[in-house]
Structure 1
């Protein structure tokens, strides 16, 4: 017969913590939230730049798509799917494209960025590019297939080069969009 005292764990045999029990420190609380005017202002300026005729170049990067994806990762509550849809409609009207073509692409990219957001924030900016590559390619492919189905013509594969160029600009956008925060961090470091 086993006594009750032998069933209870002795103080010496308490479970010791192991290295696998450690949880990573969440760096999210230490990041400053971007000011809403900075987010909305950058989206507005990018939209205005997207209206210029340089977009007629076959390999022109879609800067508005890039900014939407960037802010969907770093400030998701400021970039709803409805904003991506409306900006896509505006670009469709401007480009004379099939109505909803850009909207479909923008919504897919913003949704994909929001889904991968928590994972992406654990890595550096180059890994962000690798995470977003399949999302951008998939979204562009869906938009091109929808256009080919409705219009009855295939536009070719030049969009792949434009998509790769768009993603190659992501690190530069990261540097520029967080420049005000980095200046504040440098000022804080210099005052101590």
Structure 2
């Protein structure tokens, strides 16, 4: 893998718009798959959304987060705006810290993003309870921990198309 002159991280190609859209659509489709309500799974949509908020904040912003949240609200038949509010706030704070987070290793990035994932999940619980829903067990918060634990893997997979090839041509500048 080719390293930049400082040697800190690999040089990345510009991201392709189609890859961002496909990754968001695949994560949305995975979120739409019906599963048992008692089963706690990581939120892949939130993971991919935050990844692109951090890596491409001008391309994937608060509007995309709001749209995906509204789609999730309609799909889950929950309080209208519950997921939209949580995703929008999550996106806002991810964009706010995106420069600082990129200085850390993927494991430390996951630690920095865990409070954001927890806050977004708590936001949905608070909105649900405000309109008369029942308080879920605290076991539901393990979803945020699993989502944060998948951050290094998601970063590896979503950055793979942007990495330079191993066999570099010396006649090519990049």
> What is the distance in 1 between the residues matched to 2:19 and 2:110?
22
Structure 2 distance, partners of 1:139, 1:167, is 13
Contact 2:12–2:162 under 8 Å retained in 1: no
- What displacement does 1:53 show? 1.4
Cross-structure match for 1:138? 119
Structure 1 runs (4+) deviating above 2 angstroms are 30-33, 54-58
Aligned to 1:112: 93
Counterparts in 2 of 1:112-191, with a 5 A limit? 112-182=93-163, 184-188=164-168, 191=169
> Would you say 1:51 and 2:35 are equivalent positions?
no
Displacement of 1:56 in angstroms is: 3.5
The structure 2 residue matched to 1:41, chosen from 22, 34, 56, is 22
Deviation of the 1:126 alpha carbon: 0.9
Q: Distance in 2 between matches of 1:113 and 1:68?
A: 9
TM value normalised by structure 1: 0.78
Shift of 1:177: 0.6
Which structure has the greater CA radius of gyration? 1
Q: Which runs of 5+ in 2 are unaligned?
A: 1-5
**For the residues of structure 2 that align with 1:126 and 1:150, how far apart are their CA atoms?**
37
- Aligned match of 2:3: none
Structure 1, gaps ≥5 residues long: 1-24
> TM-score, normalization: structure 2?
0.86
| Structure richer in helix, relative to its length | 1
Deviation at 1:55, TM superposition (A): 6.6
CA shift, 1:62, in A, is 1.1
